[in-house]
Structure 1
Amino acid sequence: MLTSVVICVYTEDRWEDIRQAVESVERQRRPAHELILVVDHNPDLLLRLKGRYPRAVVVANSHERGLSGGKNTGADVATGDIVAYLDDDAVADPGWLEALEEGFQDTGADGTVVGVGGRTEPLWASKRRPRWFPYEFDWTVGCTYRGMPAVRAPIRNVMGGNAAFLREVIGEVGGFHSGIGRSVQGRKSRPLGCEETEFCIRLSQRRPGSVMLFEPRALIGHKVPRQRETFAYFRSRCYAEGLSKALVTREVGTQDGLSSERAHALKTLPLGALRSLREALRGDPGGLGRAVAIVVGLAWTAWGYLVGSVRLRGAGR
């Protein structure tokens, strides 16, 4: 199978990040069929990338402004059997593509694998994880979090910055929907997400027997800037996740839209809080901070979901 790698970009402020992401794709043990750079409404960046990477397919986002539009453009342009997405501020391990492709060859009894997601580790700008930052909330910085499988296993949805899908199914179910993930709509600074969650659930609903697979060997490192290492960003991201989850449940229903979140909130987070408290009693000064962060993160996410749900009902949507 041939894999097209898509990196969605939008600002020259990330030029060095983009360079490292592209180079990590070029260093893959199993080379990509093609590298596609989708530029989100930035003509200057488009021209600069075309000059710097003549062997890459550099195109402008032809859909609605935002990450979902960029991903859909990449899928439209791709000619490979598989479309793999990599964040523009991420660095892929040399075996990343090989592991993703092997995931599609899984022929278990659960059904046909149509999407594979890999493991994403944080690359902290300060070179060390903040002591108060709970592993259960690594999703707030776009990374694999405690509570996800430790081995290859089916999951409800993959994480968008380290994921691959069969190209044919992306267009078949209507691609990624705008208005859920990051875009220029609404508050520009609100760190929304969940476009890949809604897409994966919608795909599974429309194609019974479809399987999303987590493959931990498909490893990337995702850069976490200093401003995202703060407790203020943590709270904001949790609240935004709640808002996004309200949009997701509107599209795919509450049962499927919150199935993983219920398990995480009812099992993983209480265990994480207790673990952190025990670590605090054993002399870990960050343990209490992690326990508090788990409680606050859950509360802010739930509050965001409630606010988002009320807004949608009030708008008659």
Structure 2
Amino acid sequence: MVTYDRPEHVDRLLGRLVSQRSRPDEVIVVNNGANEETRRVVESHASRFGRRSIDLRHHARGEDTSLQRGRNDAIELSNGDVICFLDDDVVPRETWLEGIERGYEWDDSAVAVGGPAPVTDEDLAFQYDVETSPTNQNFINQYGEHTQRTYKWIPSAPVRTDFLVGANMSFSVDAIEDLGGFDPDYEGHPQFEELDVMAKLWKRDETLVYHPRALVYHINASQAESERVSYWYGRNSLRFRRKNFPETYPRSLFRLLVDVEYGTPVWRQLGRVVLDDDSASRWRLRGYLDELLLDRFDGPVGERLAAPYADG
């Protein structure tokens, strides 16, 4: 897990990992920002993990808070043939790691396995009605558009899928290293950094498995979309499309303007800003604009043009 200044989340998650039905070989806590309380929390769990022959390690990263670089450090530090990633605000069921293992057994060509991450409150009560569709619900297409139902989709059996979410994903170490790990060029609030990896696997026609037993509860006390999240969603969504789908990028921009299948098109977002002064839409539109400016004026000129908005 990669964490930043949330020791209470780390404490809760470690308590769940140590009691998994299938024990991990090692657990690596990547402490972005080197929070001292997080280090103490990890040390407080050391003896409990040691009694179960699980290697618990703490890795401090100074002032660097990049999620992608933290994940890449974890890949370098890991010793297994499969590496699993969890967000620090999830609570895994006791069958989570067992489900990951079964996913690789269910299809021995799988290079990545994950599962549901239903959104819950602090009491682990689902915030959305569960969907049990037996067919894939996480899609990517050739324009870099995507949609997913991981926040409520729990099938009754394993399913091949297009992508997994960062809160609950695992990879063959050979596969993730072959991709070069996670790209730190996705700046700001983490957005699209794990989808970047999934798109590369999708374009290679690799096998990804979504296993219902590999379930984590994703605690999200607030559903509000902050201005900062909205801004970087806009910026990084265009960067993601341009980088991974250059052959369809111009058309994907047009589809972003008018198409309603894969999210809210730009014309609707403009309407929200004009009619309701919707802050999230306004900042997402600024993110789109800044990324287009950086694309048009690559280098220092583009950076200066985008600077007024970049900090949200």
Q: 1:210 to 1:43 in 2, by over 3 A?
A: same
- 2:2 matched residue in structure 1: 8
Secondary structure in 2 matching 1:218: coil
Structure 1's 299 and 39: CA in aligned 2 closer, same or farther, altered over 3 A?
closer
Deviation of 1:121 after TM superposition, in Å, equals 1.4
Paired residue type of 2:223? E
Q: Does 1:174 align with 2:166?
A: no
Letter in 1 for 2:24: A
State the TM-score, normalizing by the size of structure 2: 0.68
Q: Which runs of 5+ in 2 are unaligned?
A: 51-55, 129-136, 138-147, 265-275, 300-312
Partner Cα separation in structure 1 for residue 205 and residue 126 of structure 2:
39
Output one character per residue of 1:265-307: Cα deviation in whole Å (capped at 9) or x when no partner: 644769xxxxxxxxxxxxxxxxxxxxxx9xx899679736742
Counterpart of 1:102 in 2: which secondary structure? helix
Q: What 5-or-longer segments of structure 1 have no aligned partner?
A: 1-6, 137-141, 183-190, 271-292
CA distance in 1, matches of 2:151, 2:94: 22
How many Å apart are 1:49 and its aligned residue?
4.0
Q: Which residue of 1 aligns with 2:296?
A: 314
Check if 1:114 corresponds to 2:96.
no
In structure 2, do the counterparts of structure 1 residues 213 and 79 end up closer, same or farther at CA, with 3 Å as the change threshold?
same
* Offset at residue 173 of structure 1 (A): 1.5
Determine the C-alpha separation between the residues in 2 that align with 1:256 and 1:100.
Answer: 34
Output the amino acid matched with 1:156: D
Q: 1:219 aligns with which of 215, 218, 230?
A: 215
Is 1:195 aligned with 2:193?
A: yes
Deviation at 1:47, TM superposition (A): 4.0
Query: Counterpart of 1:179 in 2: which secondary structure?
Result: coil
Aligned pair count reads 256
Q: Which residue matches 1:3?
A: none
- Go from structure 1 to structure 2 and tell me whether the alpha carbon gap of 1:16 and 1:43 turns closer, same or farther (over 3 Å shift): closer
Mapped to 2, the partners of 1:97 and 1:249 lie a distance apart of 32
Q: Distance in 2 between matches of 1:116 and 1:79?
A: 18
The two structures, once aligned, show a CA RMSD in angstroms of 3.9
Q: What's the CA shift for 1:74?
A: 0.9
Question: 1 CA distance for matches of 2:126 and 2:231?
Answer: 22
- Partner residue in 2 for 1:247: 239
1:156 aligns with 2:162: yes
Call closer, same or farther: CA 1:152–1:240 in 2, change over 3 Å.
Answer: farther
Specify the code of the residue in structure 2 equivalent to 1:124: D
Distance 1:241 1:71 in 2: 20
Q: Which has the higher contact order (CA 8 A, sep 6+)?
A: 1
TM-score (norm 1): 0.67
Indicate conservation of the 8 Å contact 1:120/1:222, yes or no: yes
Tell me the secondary structure at the aligned position of residue 83 of structure 1.
Answer: strand
